[in-house]
Amino acid sequence: MLIVSGIIYLDVQSIESDVNPASLAKIIKYFSTNVQPKTKQGKDTQYAIAISVPRSQCTDEHADIQKVFSKRDATHVKDELSKGQKCLLCTESRNVIAARPNRTTKEHSEHVLLYPVGESPMYMLLEQADQNRCVVFYSYNSPCVHKCIRGQDNILDGLSNWMNKRKEGMNALVFEEIWQKDITKNLQEEFLKMNVVVPLYRCKRTSDGMECQKCVENNNVDTFCLPEKKK
């Protein structure tokens, strides 16, 4: 149990099996290389993607992600995102959903995939993901404090619905960059809120490729997952 700002959160992570960070790094690097959409200026831009894979993909760092998400399928997802379209189990393997933010409604990409609860793209993905599979939900930027965590249209209920369907499954919520408007904020409390619902990880690009770490251990947020302190 965790108490944050007077609110009690029941920690469900004790029944979860941890994802191997090295295995996760291979999956996220694959997303980065083959799916990551770009701006017109060629810079990486925000999107969210979720994938259901055999558990071994999240535990065995030698597992080949292409066997369950081919480069052809990855290219198709990237093309759909580049056109502003959603991927709703749009690949041959039917194990991937993805979206960019909705420019018209300003709905964030994480929210697009998680809502409406019970009818969302994530719900469609989870309907065919048994407890022997691993579900990874990745957002390029960390879920923003103003809308995704504290706002009326926050994603916490959507994350709870995910976990309610997969209480004994292997799951990971992953981000790469800190959302630029949150860099100066104290994110420890916000990340704790998400982690008590679903295990939170961060992945960073390195000279060797990609490094991932679990963000929370014993209710403490690892500095790896927080903005770098200004020197």
Which tokens hold the place of 28?
């996220």
pLDDT above 90 for 44:
yes
**Cis omega (within 30 of 0) on the bond before 199?**
no
Residues 6+ apart with CB under 8 A from 129: 52, 95, 135, 166, 169
The SS3 assignment for 227 reads coil
pLDDT tens-place string over residues 69-87:
999 999 999 999 999 999 9
**Separation CA 194–CA 190 (nearest Å):** 7
pLDDT above 60 for 27:
yes
pLDDT tens-place string over residues 151-174:
888 999 999 999 999 888 999 999
β-strand pairing of 96-99 with 87-88: antiparallel
pLDDT tens-place string over residues 92-103:
999 999 999 998
> Per-residue DSSP letters for 113-158?
HH-STTTSHHHHHHHT--TTEEEEEEEEEPPPIIIIISSTT-SHHH
**Separation CA 196–CA 176 (nearest Å):** 19
What pLDDT band is residue 230 in, cutting at 50, 70 and 90? low
pLDDT tens-place string over residues 125-150:
999 998 899 999 999 999 999 889 88
> What local confidence, expressed as pLDDT, does residue 97 receive?
98
**Separation CA 145–CA 14 (nearest Å):** 26
% of the chain residues with pLDDT over 90 = 80
* Inter-residue contact 206 to 170 (CB < 8 Å): no
What pLDDT band is residue 205 in, cutting at 50, 70 and 90? very high
> What local confidence, expressed as pLDDT, does residue 231 receive?
58
**Separation CA 178–CA 38 (nearest Å):** 17
Q: Please state the pTM of the whole predicted model.
A: 0.91
Q: Which long-range contacts (CB under 8 A, 24 or more apart) does 86-92 make?
A: 86/112, 86/121, 87/49, 88/121, 88/124, 89/121, 89/124, 89/125
> What local confidence, expressed as pLDDT, does residue 9 receive?
42
Element (H, E) at 75: helix 71-82
pLDDT above 60 for 32:
yes
